[in-house]
Each structure stands twice: as structure tokens, then as C-alpha cells.
Amino acid sequence: MRYHDVRIGLVAHALHHGTACFEGIRAYWSARTEQLFLLQPAPHYERLRQSARLMRMSLAPTRDELVELTLELLRRNDLREDAYVRPILFKSGEVITPAMDHIAETFAIYATPYGKHAEATNGIRCMVSSWRRISDQAVPPRAKITGAYINSCLIKSEAVQNGFDEAISLTMDGHVSEGSVANLFMLRGGKFVTPPITDDILEGVTRGLLMRMIRDEFGLETEERSIDRSELYGCDELLLCGTGAELLPVVELDRRPIGDGRVGRLSGRLRECYLAAARGESARYADWTIPVWPSAA
């Protein structure tokens, strides 16, 4: 179906109550090989199914079928540039009630050209948000639920309005959680540390890839533990990561420099390695991607 032919009712349940779950999947164009590479679609669709389960929704196609549908969509759009794929499962029934059971559902996938989330060559400036990260006791943050993303909107908007690029949110009990739409890693005392899944983070696909890359490239294991806000001010390097955000080295937090105020050596190296792997240009991480165009595969 063409985009302008899509019709969604004004009274759709998802529009009024945020009852939808979604994913964001990247595809990267490699000018060197003239190939489009779809990055980690299977883990994203596994997470979508988990989100659907939490929302008492049903995702009929198998994981492999969803991957094939995505490849077909990219080919039909003839995309030969960096792209973003958005699968979404939503309550489309026109019922005015917060209850979710027995309401019609619709599943769709769309793809669009998409470049950088942010300019990160020289790093980004962050603040600690006054808005707290949603708690698992209220809304499950490990599920990508559209209604829950008002939390991200408030966090990001506050940062931009105050002259920063991004913000870092804290849990209700004051531990570091994540950025507005990105997981967090810090380098402190020669060790990478990231908040555990119990600190209300999204279980990020890119987060998992970076933990592997940190081990492969630097021979370091990543410690998963709670992080205090004050630890960030004294860390050596800090970065945010996500499928959409990619890798964003943080050079300033709350107007305090991180390290020497420049992109950290290991953060910069990780960013280079990650983008090379995403574009299918790294033999070590060839299993991360699927080539879209059969002729080049």
C-alpha cells in the first residue's frame, strides 16, 4: 500500500490511549559496495513480540516472515541511502474506553530515508533531566509502547529548551537510567559500566551490540550496575547509544566537561567500529547485517 492510501480512524484507540508498540530498525547504505544493509532486524522483531505480549496484543507473522517483509519493503521503495524502518502494532478499533481487550488491531511497517539522529563528530552536550524515567511499577519501560514515549518527549524537549543536545534521566530512586531515547555507558577507572535492566531502561539492541564490541575491540567486560548521578561527573568517558541515536559521545554534562571535554579515545573508536559494522564493512561483525539487494549479496 502506498503511504497516501493509508487511512487511520480519528477515534482509533491507539490515538487516544497510546495503545501501540513499535520498533525502530536501521538500514545503512555502503557506497563502497553499493549495497544496503539491514541492521539486526531479528532482535528488533523479537522485542516487538515481547512488547506485544505485555500489551495483550498478537503479532501473527513469524520473526523470519517479518524480516522478509522488511527486505521486500526496502526493495519496493528502491532505497539506496541510509533508511529507517518503523514496524508498529496498534489498537485500531474505534472504541472509547481505556480497556484494551477485544479491540481490533492493525500491524504496519513503513520505511523512509533517514540520516543522522544528531551531529556527534565533536560530541554532544547533555543535562540531567528534571523529569524522572518512567517506573516499571507504572508503565513497563522494557516495552516500546507509544504512550510511554511522552516521557521521552518531555525529557528531550527540556534539554533542547535549555540549550543542550540531549538529557539523561534518573530513576524514581535517583539512579542513572538512560537518555531520552538511548542507553548509557560510562568509562570509569578503566572499566565500562552501564545501568542494569532493573533501573528502568529499555533493553536496547544496540546496547547488547556495544557490550560485545567492547569485549572484542578492547578486551574489556562491561559491568552492569546502578550508577549514581555524581559518578557521571567524574567519569573518564560517557556515551549514549541506540538504533536511531547510533553512538553519541558526551563531552559535557550539566556544564561540566567529561574527561578533557573532547570525544574520548575509546568512545571515538567504538563509534567508528560500530558505523563500519552497520554498513557491512567489517568482517568481524558480518553477522550483524543482512544485505537488501540480492545482486550484491
Last residue of a domain, one of 93, 113, 133: 113
DSSP-derived pairing of the beta strands 222-224 and 191-194: parallel
SS3 231: helix
- Domain-located, residue 157: yes
Last residue of a domain, one of 80, 113, 146: 113
User: Cα 246–249–253 angle (5° rounding)?
Assistant: 125
pLDDT by 10s per residue, the chain, length 297: 999 999 999 999 999 999 999 999 999 999 999 999 999 999 999 999 999 999 999 999 999 999 999 999 999 999 999 999 999 999 999 999 999 999 999 999 999 999 777 677 899 999 999 999 999 999 999 999 999 999 999 999 999 999 999 999 999 999 999 999 999 999 999 999 999 999 999 999 999 999 999 999 999 999 999 999 999 999 999 999 999 999 999 999 999 999 999 999 999 999 999 999 999 999 999 999 999 998 644
- Domain-located, residue 118: no
pLDDT for 89 equals: 98
The CATH number given to whatever domain includes residue 26 is 3.30.470.10
- Domain-located, residue 295: no
Question: What total number of domains does the chain contain?
Answer: 2
- On whether both 102 and 128 belong to a single domain, the answer is no
pLDDT for 115 equals: 79
In the chain, which residue ranges form alpha helices assigned H by DSSP?
13-17, 41-54, 63-76, 150-161, 205-218, 229-233, 265-278
Beta bridge partners of 183: 241
- On whether both 142 and 75 belong to a single domain, the answer is no
- On whether both 66 and 165 belong to a single domain, the answer is no
The CATH number given to whatever domain includes residue 268 is 3.20.10.10
> Could you tell me the three cell numbers for 174?
535517583
- On whether both 259 and 140 belong to a single domain, the answer is yes
Contacts 24+ apart (CB under 8 A), 95-100: 95/11, 95/13, 96/11, 96/16, 97/13, 98/17, 100/13, 100/19, 100/55, 100/56, 100/57
Catalytic residues: 144
**83 lies in which domain range?**
3-113
pLDDT for 126 equals: 98
Residue 92 CA, distance from chain mean position: 25
d(C-alpha 176, C-alpha 185), whole Å? 10
Question: In this predicted model, what pLDDT tens digit does every residue of 233-265 receive, in sequence order?
Answer: 999 999 999 999 999 999 999 999 999 999 999
- On whether both 75 and 131 belong to a single domain, the answer is no
d(C-alpha 186, C-alpha 179), whole Å? 13
- On whether both 100 and 179 belong to a single domain, the answer is no
> Could you tell me the three cell numbers for 3?
503511504
- On whether both 134 and 260 belong to a single domain, the answer is yes
pLDDT for 297 equals: 44
The answer, as to whether pTM is greater than 0.85, is yes
Burial 17-29 (b: 16+ CB within 10 A, else e): bbbbbbbbbbbbb
CB 240, CB 197: distance < 8 Å: no
- On whether both 104 and 16 belong to a single domain, the answer is yes
Secondary structure tally for the chain: helices H, strands E: 7, 15
